[in-house]
Every structure is written in C-alpha cells, then in structure tokens.
Structure 1
C-alpha cells in the first residue's frame, strides 16, 4: 500500500509513539486521523502534521467505551471519505506485583481495578477499534490493521495486567488476519522492547540502566524506529498475520 494519500488512523496519536508515527507518516503524504483522550496533545500533534503539509484531523475519544469508538469511526469516514489503515497504538501501564510480601506476611495484592483499568484500554480498546475498522475495510475490500503489542506479551515480572493485555493484542493479530484476509484486509503487529519516551526519561538511573542491559544492543529503542516499522508494514503488501519484534534483541 502506498502511504501517500492513504487515510491512516492512529490511537494514542497525540503523544509518544503515536505522535512519532504520525509525524513520519505525515512526511510521506498520509492523511491522518489522530485519536486520543487528551485534546490538547491531539491539537498540538495535528498542527505539527499539518505544518508538514499533511491533511490531519483529530478525534477525542475514550477507546474503552463502545459508543465513543463507534461514533469516532463514523466521524472519520464522514470527514475523510474512507479508512485505509488503523494503528492500534493506545495503551496504559499500571505495574505492580500480583502479591507483595513483607517478612512472610501479605502486604498488598494487585487490585481488580488496577488489573481491569489496563485490560479495558489495552485489550478492550484494541478490540473495539479493530472491530470498527474491520467493518469499514471489509466493505471497502481493502485495508490494514496494525496492533502495537510488546515484548512483555511473553510475561514480565510486575506486569500481570499489561502482559495479559499485550498477549491478547498479539493473539488478535493472528485471529483477525485469518478472518479478514478474504476481504483484502491485512492485520499485523509490532512488539517493541524498551523505548525512549518521556516516561522512561523520568525513571531512576539504575532502573533505566537495567532496561538498557536487557537489549543485546545495550540501549533503548528510539520512537522513530518503531514508526519506521509501521511504514514497513504498510508498504509491504505480503506482510500479514505476524508480529514484528523491534526490541534490540531483548532478553529479560
């Protein structure tokens, strides 16, 4: 698929990885539909894309809410005429141990609210956005859905909720690819390792050093390296049903 003039929706498009993806795709002439909860950041990123000559619009929505997602994708098609690519990028982290012990006694448990809050955004939100995009693309007879997973999908200490959500997101890639291929719709995923973001920049030096050492390359990934992977999947029409691992050879 050519990026130029393709209508590409990005959830979590106002900041972080979503912003990096949007700017890279804007430089290649994409028409962008940015989805996020933070309107201020959405407006700023959309303006940056427009300054690069791109047709960019933003849609404020809570992707964990079905009605909001349905309305958003209706508005995208109404505003932009079609939908060629969805990047399911939005996600949150609320890390914690399943149980925390001190001196042989239970000190804390991961709450159901802590677990569900991550599942609702990362997994339910990905499902809802993917479903709405799939319905549009199947009728068009073409399209691409990219789910942003994580190396944590294999299981990572302190991330019961996050790992479970990203394992589910990864399983959706294979399931949807098998279901939607007959309609000309590809589905793929990207599993980033530890990436340099505003969040990692605020971490304690010792924690940051530990993350860097997880990767064979001995450094954090750059946001543009993930954005470039999105570009690759869009442009490679034979890539579907697979997860592209961009993690510097991470070994946790």
Structure 2
C-alpha cells in the first residue's frame, strides 16, 4: 500500500496537467463547446444533469452485471469442459478461436432480428464480449499446472476429481481472475454498445441523444461514467482476487 501511495501520485500529476492544458486551451483559443467543451463545463454538466441521467447509469450497471455473470460463468464452464475432455478440446478449441474474428458489432443487427429489441440481445452481446477472455485464460491456467505436482498426486493415488479440485483449479485461479479483470472492463463497453441497438434507457442511450443534439459536454459525461464504472468493476475483481488467492506470492518491485 505504501509503495502504491508513493508511485500513485505520478499518473495523478500527469492527469491533472493534461486537464489543465485542456482547460487553458479551450479558454485561450475559444473553442466552441459543441466541438470540444472545457473540463469545467463537463464537470458542471455532470453535476447539474445528475437527475436526468442517474436512471441511465443504474440501467447500464444492471445490464452489465447480468451479462458479465452469464458470460463469465459460461466461459469458466466451457474451459473446464474443454480441459477435462481432451477430445472436446481438440474439436472445439480452434472453432472457439475462429469465432472471435467476428466482431460483436456485426452480430448485433442479427441478434435484433432474431430476438427483437428486448433485453435478451443486449445480454447476449455482453456475454459474448466477456466469454472469450475468461475461457482462454482459464484454459491457459489449466495448462500451467505444475507437472511435478501432478505426477506426484497421480503416484499417490489421487483421482481425477481430487487432482482437479486440489491442484489444477487452484493453479488456474490467477489466470481465471486475469480473464475476469479483462472481461470486467469489456462488459461495460459491451453494455453501452448493446444499448445502441434500440434501448430506452442506459448510458448508451444518453450518449446517443446527446450526440444527436450536439451536446458534446453530455457525451463527455457519458464517457467519463463509462471509464469510472470500468475502473470500479476492475477494482472489485482485484479485491476479490486478493481475498481468494492468499497463497499467491507478491511481486517484488
């Protein structure tokens, strides 16, 4: 924690410097607010319009949580199945990699056609965004299991379930959480993209309405909340990782 406080002031200083330059440039060159609003205007808009967009934030948070839980659960279950069934891994792993070459935004119109404008296509988009990082990271974690310990447990007469729960799963947990942290940031982005499909509330809807009315300050407010939500979600996963993986050695910096 002490090291974090000692090093954490540098990015904060850079951020304050960039915001100051942005503010001064907007005032000196008199940049129109519809083109590039000053940070002070963005902050004032965020405070004054809180009652107008707070329900949008809550809607995006709810959608993000549902999609993330479904995507992460399905990703972990898929990774476990591909790990414990080698024939299934050989048959599906390549298809899993190929499927990620299809952008999710391309599938969005098809999901609307198939499932309508309800909440289901939006949850599917978020789940698809979260699924791949978790599945691939978990599989990589299973591959990194210590072979000496694995050989020792088999010589001691341990069954497949004992090997999995006592060795392979704990060894894969750091990789699982790495995938969860990546998916946590992607999930907010996926929620905003899914809301562009025709939702009636959400940060994506608020951003679209602000953009169509040339309220660039509100667009920046939306971007700011997307960043904040992503960072909070990422921090929550990091906290859960520290609580669950106490045996993981700390890095020396």
Higher helix share: 2
| Higher RCO (CA-CA < 8 Å; seq separation 6+) | 2
Higher strand share: 1
TM-score (normalised: structure 2): 0.26
Pair member with larger Rg: 2
